[in-house]
């Protein structure tokens, strides 16, 4: 039996989690990939290395015309088909609110939330048309539990999680599944996590992009609701609800109190 074409689009695909996700999805028979990020050279190299057809769009997703450019590319190069949208592009900039103020919150929301919503809105008609299809939003454990100097990043990820839950309920009748992946500390280009990986006590809390990529597959084509990577990070979210005072005390100190997570790849 012939395997039908399945088009997947991955943002933040040039490095880190996005690149690992593209490599993972390329293993699936019939897959065509659209790689989206800012750095054209890295996208070209990745596209040429994959075992499936892969095209790319070099664009800053915060730009006003970005969603339209991506849709135009899909229509021109892939017949307007889209079966999986992986919203991975994101970034983090550490700062206390008294230092970074609203400007730091704004730039987090602009990339980590607003750009995701705008792109999804542009591509949702294609996903509905191709149903059954899926959206996977890369949030973060920081979208469940917040720490000092990461408030702006956490705010953008809290927003993404809340919106994703609502979108899941709205799009289920249309055959579009919405999954969430919440990485903790992941070793990427922007966050090598050297300090954490060098200590036996904290080494376990750092995972690899390839494990997040597998979680993306599980929450997209696999139909799962959400995944934490590493899995034990889910306990932090539970503790935040059941033991809020204790959780706050723990997160105020400890070896990871001054670090932040990132979904990686723009």
Q: What is the dihedral of CA 254, 256, 257, 263, to 10 degrees?
A: -160
Calpha distance 71→228 (Å, rounded): 30
Domains present along the chain, CATH in parentheses: 6-252 (3.40.50.720)
Which residue, 177, 231, 185, 224, is CA-closest to 208?
185
Successive 10-residue mean pLDDT values, the chain, 266 residues: 81 97 98 98 98 98 98 98 98 96 98 98 98 98 94 98 98 98 80 52 73 98 97 88 89 51 46
* Distance separating alpha carbons of residues 258 and 221, to the nearest angstrom: 36
Residue 206: predicted pLDDT: 79
Beta bridge partners of 87: 137
CB 188 within 8 A of CB 209: yes
Look at residue 240 in the predicted model and tell me its pLDDT.
Answer: 87
- Separation of alpha carbons 162 and 168, rounded Å: 10
* pLDDT score for 260: 39
Q: Which of 153, 168, 228, 233 is catalytic?
A: 153
Instruction: Indicate if 102 belongs to the active site.
Output: no
pLDDT at 249: 86
Q: What is the pLDDT of residue 1?
A: 36
- N residues, the chain: 266
The pLDDT of residue 189 is 59
Distance CA 30, CA 187 (A): 30
């Amino acid at each position: 039996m012939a395997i039908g074409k399945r088009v997947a689009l991955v943002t933040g695909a040039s490095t880190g989690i996005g690149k690992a996700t593209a490599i993972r999805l390329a293993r699936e028979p019939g897959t065509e990939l659209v790689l989206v990020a800012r750095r054209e050279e890295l996208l070209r190299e990745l596209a040429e290395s994959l075992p499936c057809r892969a095209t790319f769009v070099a664009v800053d997703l915060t730009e006003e015309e970005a969603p339209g450019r991506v849709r135009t590319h899909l229509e021109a190069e892939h017949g307007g088909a889209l079966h999986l949208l992986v919203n991975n592009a994101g970034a983090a900039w550490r700062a206390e609110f008294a230092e970074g103020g609203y400007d730091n919150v704004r730039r987090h929301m602009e990339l980590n939330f607003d750009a995701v919503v705008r792109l999804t809105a542009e591509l949702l008609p294609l996903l509905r048309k191709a149903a059954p299809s899926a959206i996977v939003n890369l949030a973060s454990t920081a979208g469940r539990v917040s720490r000092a100097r990461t408030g702006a990043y956490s705010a953008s990820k809290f927003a993404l999680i809340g919106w994703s839950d609502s979108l899941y309920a709205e799009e289920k009748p249309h055959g579009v599944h919405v999954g969430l992946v919440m990485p903790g500390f992941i070793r990427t280009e922007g966050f090598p996590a050297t300090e954490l990986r060098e200590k036996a006590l904290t080494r376990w809390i750092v995972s690899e992009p390839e494990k997040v990529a597998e979680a993306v597959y599980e929450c997209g084509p696999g139909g799962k609701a959400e995944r934490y990577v590493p899995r034990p990070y889910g306990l932090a979210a539970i503790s935040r609800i059941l033991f809020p005072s204790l959780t706050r005390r723990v997160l105020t100190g400890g070896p990871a109190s001054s670090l932040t997570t990132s979904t990686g790849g723009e």
